[in-house]
Amino acid sequence: MKKEIICLQCPLACRMTVELTESGEILSVSGNSCPRGEEYAEQEIKQPLRILTTTVRVLSKDIEHPRLPVRTQGLIPKVLLKKCMKTLASVEVRPPVRVGDVVLENILSTGVDVISTAEVLE
Ligand code: SF4
């Protein structure tokens, strides 16, 4: 069985083909321009990881579009993205918030915090 994946390790975004056994073992990786692609392919097959970016509600009457851009501070399992979005849908922050402030600690026990990527002053 063959699987097409795009390496997200650098802006080159190599298109790779991963050949797998019936049981999901990697037989070969091709299309990568450097060894990092192979590592990425292994991770992607075993447990895909992603950075989550989204927004949370800001509790302020003075702001026209009261949403704060946030992201996970590190990679989280791709399978948890939807659950994380649901969790963050109920998160509200009060200004002032600065870039890098922790909006939610240890989301879904992943060990990864969600941080602000923008500033909202009072
Ligand atoms: S395989 Fe190497 S060169 Fe290609 S996208 Fe991944 S890191 Fe970049």
pLDDT, averaged across the chain: 95
- Structure confidence at residue 18 as a pLDDT band (50, 70, 90): very high
In angstroms, what CA-CA distances link 34 with 3, 40, 91? 18, 11, 40
User: Measured from the CA of 40, which atom of ligand 1 is nearest?
Assistant: 6
> Would the CB of 10 count as within 6 Å of ligand 1?
yes
* Phi, psi values for residue 119, rounded to 5°: -115, 135
Residue 70, domain extent: 53-116
Together in a domain, 38 and 67 = no
121 CB less than 6 Å from ligand 1?
A: no
CB 57 within 8 A of CB 70: no
9 CA to centre of ligand 1 in angstroms: 6
Which pLDDT does position 61 carry in this prediction?
Answer: 78
Residue 42 and residue 26: Cα distance in Å, rounded? 8
Residue 121 lies in a domain: no
- How far is the centre of ligand 1, averaged over its atoms, from the C-alpha of 93 (Å)? 37
Determine the distance separating the centroid of ligand 1 and the alpha carbon of 111, expressed in angstroms: 27
88 belongs to a structural domain? yes
**For residue 25, what pLDDT band results from cuts at 50, 70 and 90?**
very high
Global confidence as pTM: 0.83
Checking if the pLDDT of 21 tops 80, the result is: yes
**pLDDT in the model for residue 122:** 74
> Is the domain of 35 the same as that of 66?
no
pLDDT higher than threshold 80 for residue 65: no
